[in-house]
Each structure stands twice: as structure tokens, then as C-alpha cells.
Amino acid sequence: MRLNRSCRYRRHSVQETPYRREPGYAERYRDTRFRSAHGPGTDRRERRALRRLLARCPTPAGRWLDVPSGAGRMTEELPGPAVQVDRDPAMVAACPGDHPRLCASAQALPFAEDTFAGALCHRLLQHIPTAAERIAILAELKRVTRGPIVVSFFDAHSLQHIRRLLRRATGKHRSGRGAISRATLRQELLAAGLRPLAFAPLCRFVAEQTLVLCGRA
């Protein structure tokens, strides 16, 4: 597979919720986000959860898709050579290593059907505010992937989510991240032609972050 490493953004006619990042965000995310405070513990738990899910399924040979790759933190956990995709050019530029990478939207991936052996979509869905957008992303992952798909989401049935709601109610903190229930995620997966095979929460009923192994419905 030959990809343009200059990260020229591929435009698609898709309606997405816009986002803005301050200068230097990508480098700080790469260098400090998971290396200070609670970051290292979160990193270890996320890696363990991903490994547990990947160990549950046979993996066809071939490339994997990491979208959004962010700064590439989870790419090395994938069981095959990976292609990194993120719609933020600064994040793509911050990825270390020599993996093929490009800028593109997870809602309109510039790949043919069944291009990848598997896919990882980590730390994205909690930033997507509407069911229609989440389903579009899940459907694109299904379209370009012939094997297992791992996605993460924020579980609404968790203490961490309740704390987030309380902070919002008191005006202390307004995060753009949102949570949904497992039942809602199942409905959205089915709408995209997928089904959940296994869940791997970082800490069930406490932490929001949960990884899900998905297959075709």
C-alpha cells in the first residue's frame, strides 16, 4: 500500500462536528498526557484491555487500521503492520516511527472495501455527540475491514460519568466528552452492520473507558 506521507488532507463531503486544538496540543498529548499524573496507569489498563480482546479472536493476515491514531500510542499493540489515520494533521505529524499515515476523516475513509485485516478505533466515540455520526464511523470501519474491529466508548453506567455530570451541573467543568450505555452502543453497532463480541472495561462501574471487540452482524 502506497500512501502520501506529506499528510495532504483528503476532502470528503461529510458533515462533522468541528473541533479546535490549541498550538502544541499534539506534542503535549504525545509527550506528557500518558506519562504524568494518572496517565501511566490509564495507559497500562488500556493496553491490557486491548490485548485481552485481541487474544479472543483469530486475526487474518494483513495490515491493520489505527483510526484515529492520535500520536500513535496504541499502534504498536496491533497484531500486524498498521496504517495510521487521523483528521488532525498535527497529530499525524506527531506520530513517531515510520508507519504509513495520512489525514482523513473516520466518517469517510479513503480506502476500498475490506482493505484491512482489522481496525482499532480508540478514544474517538466519546467525542462524537450524535448517534448518526457514531453510526457513520462504525459503518466506515466495517466497510474497510474484513476482520475484527475494536472500538472504545465511555460507559454512562460508571461512577466517573456521574462525577462528570455533577461537575457540569455545578459549573466546575464542561467537557466535550459524552457517555452512552452499553445498550445504546449495541443498537448503534447493529445499525452499522456490526455486533459486540466482548467488552473489556478498564474498571467496570468505576471508569468510563471501555473497549469492545466487534464482528460483523
Topology annotation, domain 35-216: Rossmann fold (3.40.50)
**pLDDT at residue number 6:** 36
Cα 174 to chain centroid, rounded: 21
**Angle, to 10 degrees, between the axis of helix 182-191 and the axis of helix 131-144?**
50
Q: Is residue 98 helix, strand or coil?
A: coil
**pLDDT at residue number 18:** 64
**pLDDT at residue number 72:** 97
- Beta partners for residue 121, in sequence order: 151
**pLDDT at residue number 7:** 40
Tell me the three cell numbers of residue 196: 459486540
Tell me the three cell numbers of residue 170: 455545578
**pLDDT at residue number 174:** 60
Q: 73 to each of 67, 82, 127, 171, how far by Cα in Å? A: 12, 12, 18, 32
Contact 206, 157 (CB under 8 A): no
Give CA–CA dist 78/99, Å, rounded: 12
Q: Is the pTM of this model over 0.85?
A: yes
pLDDT digit string (tens) for the chain, length 217 residues: 545 443 433 334 456 766 678 889 999 999 999 999 999 999 999 999 999 999 998 888 899 999 999 999 999 999 999 999 999 999 999 999 999 999 999 999 999 999 999 999 999 999 999 999 999 999 999 999 999 999 999 999 998 888 888 877 777 666 678 999 999 999 999 999 999 999 999 998 899 999 999 999 9
148 sits in the region (left: phi over 0; alpha: psi -120 to 50; else beta) called beta
- Domain residue ranges in the chain: 35-216
Strands (DSSP E) contained in 78-201 are 82-86, 101-103, 118-121, 149-154, 194-201
DSSP 130-159: -HHHHHHHHHHHHHHBSS-EEEEEEBSSSH
Which residue type is seen at 171? G
What are the backbone dihedrals phi and psi of residue 32, each rounded to the nearest 5 degrees, phi first? -130, -25
**pLDDT at residue number 176:** 73
The DSSP secondary-structure symbol of 9 reads P
